[in-house]
Structure 1
Amino acid sequence: MSLSRRQVAGAAFAAAVPLTFGTAQAGEQRARTLFIAGDSTAAQKYADAAPETGWGMAIPFFLRKGLVVSNHAVNGRSSKSFVDEGRLEVILGAIRPGDLLVIQFAHNDEKTTDAVRYTEPWSTYQDYLRLYIEGARARGARPVLATAVERRRFDAAGNAQPSHGDYPAAMRALAEEERVSLLDVQALSLQLWQSLGVEETKKYFNWTDVEQDNTHFNPPGAIEVARLVARELLRTRVLSPRDLRRLDEAIPESWITWPEAV
């Protein structure tokens, strides 16, 4: 996905200062942390990018106290470029036994003309994902693979269309091979867009008077994708019911905030 000037600026700040949400109370044992490694669909956004919203900004609303979120997702990164820029190394330097690492890439891995980001789904994509899996496991943390959330794409008959080629299938196969829990966000988001339809889905993406964006979300879209992620964390038993809340409750858009970049 191409980056605007504001997205590049936001990404640079996000890379330097990943935001962490939720804290343990004084005297409590260290809270478990859910780390997110991913691209712009999950990333923290800042005031200059509003109303664009990554699902990682909304996932804390579905988690109970004692489980914090450290969102390292950054605009424009692939599984390869995230590693090559040292971003995985930063996570592995902070992750601790009992923590979780949710890994979602594909949007930028698909860029065949960009050698910095491109990976081939059945070889280099899986090879890079193994670095995340092995790195987390070596530190006593639990890796979790998440297929890439779908874009808003419909055919002439109004049917939601997949856009990620072989990448979701390659991740599913790797999850089975490595015995890693899989959050099938791609399949679930495609079903959601199909159920909403061509016009209603516009209310979930970053459609404004000046921009018609079929990849990135606004607050309602980010909240609903985060809900899919939370439900998958429960379904796969990565988290238990006591770790989660509000799975069936409406989340006010006003809960989403965009801090100023500094």
Structure 2
Amino acid sequence: MRIARKIAAMAAALFAVTSAHATRPGDTILIASDSTAASYAPDRYPQTGWGQMLACGLQPDVRVINHAMGGRSTRSFLAEGRWDRLLADLMPGDTVLIQFGHNDQARGKPERWAPAQTDYRNNLMRFIWDVRTAGGIPVLVTPVARRNFGPDGKAIADYPAWSGVMRDLATTLHVPLIDLEARSRVWLDRAGPEASKALYLHYRAQDEIAAFPKGIEDNTHFSELGARQVANLVAEGLRALDLPVSRKILAERPDLTRATPLGSTRCR
């Protein structure tokens, strides 16, 4: 009787796991990236990553698992075991957004440095292979633009070699691509050099921002408003792809198209 009860309990547990997994394929997005996409604790507000806001543009049954972490490149993401932890969360049918480049170009930091045409390319190929082997769908995302304008007033591409490798792999390996670099440069051009400060971390000491009491001028990391709008660019990119998750992107995304900050990172 005791053995029978144990077998019944094991069967019930297996059924529960199987049933839970049965609802998972296609309803989860995982993110492998750096500080531009990372999620931040409330005490870091208004600093916000686009991956932190992406769920606001998705149907409620879609889950976002954000593995993005500040300061990481393809090299360090692998070396620290973060990629392995992402793979442990990955199930068949899930979508994996892969955005690196900001830290891969840090030649002076060997733990991050991944030359575009060699290590970076090889690391991305491994990511693609691993995701496909696990039954997932890799999506390459070119590195989002920094707030960097040229003499002509147009946003500059700071990572052209790394973005170029992504575009090449997307073509040669038939990997879905969101050209976030191109999309975000258009976004910056539309805002212009002055108004775009509100999209990044530009605050004065007199603004009395608890996270930045001395003020900050950061042209890489986003404010709440900037992160919402970049998440909208990613959502637009996903919606344009012919993927199962594309049908899960909301047609109207008021939480991501706001012109003023909400004062928090929640979805309304």
Of residues 117, 120, 141, the one that matches 1:122 is 117
Counterpart selection for 2:63 from 41, 64, 68: 68
The answer for the alignment partner of 2:136 in structure 1 is 141
Task: Name the CA distance, whole Å, in 1 between partners of 2:244 and 2:263.
Answer: 23
**Aligned counterpart, 1:167:** 162
TM-score between the two structures when normalised by the length of structure 2: 0.82
Contact residue 56 and residue 253 of structure 2 kept, 8 A: no
Correspondence for 1:254: 262
C-alpha spacing 1:140/1:256, structure 2 compared with 1 (3 Å): farther
Going from structure 1 to structure 2, the CA distance change for 1:239 and 1:208 (only over 3 Å counts) comes to farther
What's 1:107 paired with? 102
CA contact (8 A) 1:230 1:247 kept: no
Q: What is aligned with 1:230?
A: 235
Distance in structure 1 (CA, Å) of the matches to 2:44 and 2:98: 23
Q: Could you tell me which residue of structure 2 aligns to residue 220 of structure 1? A: 225
**Structure 2 counterpart SS, 1:166:** helix
Alignment identity in percent?
Answer: 35
1:43 paired with 2:51, answer no
How far the C-alpha of 1:157 sits from its partner, in A, is 3.3
Amino acid in structure 1 at the alignment position of 2:265: T
Matched pairs, number: 233
Instruction: Give 1:30's aligned amino acid.
Output: R
CA contact (8 A) 1:61 1:246 kept: no
Higher relative helix content: 2
**Mean alpha-carbon deviation: is it higher for 183-192 or for 237-246?**
237-246
TM-score (norm 1): 0.84
> Residues of 2 paired with 1:58 and 1:193: CA distance?
19
Query: Which of 176, 179, 183 in structure 2 is aligned with 1:181?
Result: 176
Show structure 1 runs of 4+ deviating over 2 A.
Answer: 26-32, 238-242, 246-258
Specify whether residues 214 and 162 from structure 1 end up closer, same or farther in structure 2 by C-alpha distance, changes over 3 A only. same
Does the 8 Å CA contact 2:34/2:69 hold for their aligned counterparts? Answer: yes
1:79 matched to 2:74? The reply is yes
> Structure 2: any 5+ residue segments left out of the alignment?
1-19, 205-214
Q: Which amino acid is 1:93 matched to?
A: A
State yes or no: 1:154 paired with 2:154.
Answer: no
Kindly state the Cα deviation for residue 190 of structure 1 after the two structures are TM-superposed.
0.5
Amino acid at match of 1:254: L
**Alpha carbons of structure 1 residues 227 and 247: separation in structure 2 relative to 1, 3 Å:** farther
- Contact (CA 8 Å) 2:35, 2:221: kept in 1 or not? yes
1-side partners of 2:246 and 2:91: how far apart? 22
Aligned equivalents of 1:129, 1:240: Cα separation in 2: 21
Residues 71-101 of structure 1 deviation map (CA, whole Å, 9 limit, x = unaligned): 0000000011000100000011120001111
Query: What is the identity, as a one-letter code, of the residue corresponding to 2:230?
Result: V
